[in-house]
Structure 1
């Protein structure tokens, strides 16, 4: 399949997603909005859209004017029936494109914390099987999305509700990061270190580093399951 990614900052790339796509012989192209000469393809020229994270918010169009163009492209891809996956900011952008509200989360959530399945998640059997044991996943966010109308609310955490949603048969939004590798966690920890503060739901860099060694492989396994179902299902 032809997979296109939208990347907002140089330190939040595809991570394990890119490894899996390459291993399974999918074609990868990217739009990097942080580059002055970024380019968006025509929606009909791709099969799958993956929207990555970033420290900006969906409401920051004055500071990042390309957000308006990006939202129009995401909306076009959804309406065209493309398979769409959003990670963190990417999920928030998709939610807004589907008419859902995005605002500040009850708690800023940074580090390794478990997510729990909702009752609605049981309607999506393969997803429930991946998350039924309340896996510990990597969070780095201060905003949250409402669940789009007619979407399934799939997961919550102790700090925040609305951790994942499923819309139609093609669209998935994840508030957290399953694509993490030791390198990607190191990059975001280095570039967003100013967000690490005294907070029950914000871990230290050392806790984050330790958690990566313990939990990243399982996150990648879950990510693989999502990609298999999204691309091959």
Structure 2
């Protein structure tokens, strides 16, 4: 099918669609980016695309005073979800979805950075996330969301029990970075160098984890995204 449009709402340049971009193009989507704080848009502009992907970034959804564009993002995402329009959120994107659905998002004072497996809930094991059972995924966050009313929790880790949720048939929020291309991990290590230093994390360890886990994860991620898109 052709003529479909996907928009990725991007908050920092290197946290892009990654592995998801070629899958969208294979399915006939025209793909555009909206760069938060640079490209101005009204909340209703987020209703138009056939698919909206809300990407990650190193800010919190509760920082509207510092980053006023978050107000329009949250309102637009809320309108889109209420209208039953396909929406995928990754990390900050999932937190924005949760906030738009009325759930709390808060800073934990902790970080979860690196490759580690998820524990799928019963619903998660029966969902599009089934290929991730036992597969280490890339975590890179310190905030956490509550599961919105009407949504289903799909996955957890020991430190962050709310890792993914499904909202109706059209909304999927992922706390972890399933889209990240392991072949481009260096841009993450440079772009988040300050955060890694503050957390006492060695980039050489993450680089080695990406090389070891990335190919396996990319295969599982492709299965997840293809099933969800289909």
Q: Same fold (TM over 0.5)?
A: yes
TM-score, normalised to structure 1, is 0.89
Matched residue, 1:91 = 94
Which segment is superposed worse, 215-224 or 91-100? 215-224
After TM superposition, list the pairs within 5 Å mapping 1:124-135 onto structure 2. Answer: 125-132=126-133, 134-135=134-135
Residues in 2 aligned to 1:117 and 1:23: alpha-carbon distance in whole angstroms: 29
SS of the aligned residue for 1:71 comes to helix
Give the Cα–Cα distance (whole angstroms) in 1 for the partners of residues 166 and 8 of structure 2. 19
2:36 matched residue in structure 1:
33
Matches within 5 A, 1:7-156: 7-35=10-38, 37-39=39-41, 42-105=45-108, 107-122=110-125, 125-132=126-133, 134-156=134-156
- Give the SS at the match of 1:92: helix
Q: Deviations over 1:92-115 (max 9, x none)?
A: 000011111111236311111111
Distance in 2, Cα, partners of 1:99 & 1:207: 37
Is residue 178 from structure 1 mapped to residue 178 from structure 2 by the alignment?
Answer: yes
SS of the residue aligned with 2:128? helix
RMSD value, Cα: 2.0
The counterpart of 2:218, out of the listed 217, 220, 228, is 220
TM superposition outliers: structure 1 runs of 4+ over 6 Å: none
Please state how far the C-alpha of 1:205 moved relative to its aligned partner. 0.5
Deviations 1:85-139 (A, max 9, x none): 10000000000111111112363111111111123324xx24353123x210111
Question: Residue 84 of structure 1 aligns to a residue in which SS?
Answer: strand
For structure 2, list consecutive stretches of 5 or more residues without a partner in the other structure.
none
TM-score, with length taken from structure 2: 0.90
Aligned length in residues:
226
Superposed, which structure 2 residues align to 1:200-215 within 5 Å? 203-215=201-213
Q: Is the 8 A contact 2:15 2:180 kept in 1?
A: no
